[in-house]
Structure 1
Amino acid sequence: MTTTVTRPRTVTARINTPDTALDPAVYTATVYMNTAPHSFGGYQHHHPLAEATRPDGTPLRLVFQASARIHDHEAAADAAYEVGNRQAHDANGQTWPADIRSVSVGDVIKVTCPDHWIVYLSVGPTSFSPVPEPTHLTDLTGSRASSRRCPH
């Protein structure tokens, strides 16, 4: 004897979410290299910036887990500065590419905080200073690049 079993209809859906949604206590940092001549005196809003990239040309995103050491945007920028000066690595073990100069005074670090706030910080001689979102983005060859802001 055979018995018929009726199963309820189900729908399966895949929802793609950013990696940071899985771990909300993550800071990400993007370094913009100042390409203006004589820019080591500090960042000015009219200076052209080029986004640091991996050797394959993809954007270099540094990831830092929130901790007692990395507890705010300035601490995340400081951690990115250390990676950018080949003194450390990020939470994923990523180090600074050998073909990019070290992070220096005049560069800008974009920090996306766990609450999705985005802060741009200019690297100064002894600290970081908040700056507006840069508008003069170029690639390393000097051509104009689009300015994109991460969604909130």
Structure 2
Amino acid sequence: MSEDIYAKPDMNKKVKFNRGEMEERMVDIYVSADTLRDGDTRTTTHETEDTAVDNGPGDQRSAADSSIRRTRVSAVCLSLLCVLLLAGIIVLSVYYNKEHQLHTKDKDQLQTSHNNLTKEKDQLQVSYNNLTKERDQLQTSYNNPD
């Protein structure tokens, strides 16, 4: 038996690589009672150097790896979309505040102008009434000379 172990291997034989054998060598770590109590029910797989996914010809990622990658990409895209939406809302609110301040300033100026014109109109009305009285008095005194 010890002779078989130390015998030289025949390197002329062609060996076909089988992906299924690699998958059989994967070591699964099962969920322990502690992780169940914490609510963490994920299972993990550890790869050794000889069972690594990228360790053979024509290596491809497993379906679980590509699913995890798609999930991560989706999460990143969704996060970026949320950030862009939030930035848009902030920009619009800043723009709205500036516009509101400008409109408030314009409204205040118009209100001041309106108040000034109303005072001037009232003064002109009083002046008109006084002049009308004076005219009537003059007219009366002209028509009735004593």
Fold equivalence (TM over 0.5):
no
Which of 1 and 2 has higher RCO (CA within 8 Å, sep 6+)?
1
TM-score by length of 2: 0.19
Structure with greater helix share of residues: 2
Structure with greater strand share of residues: 1
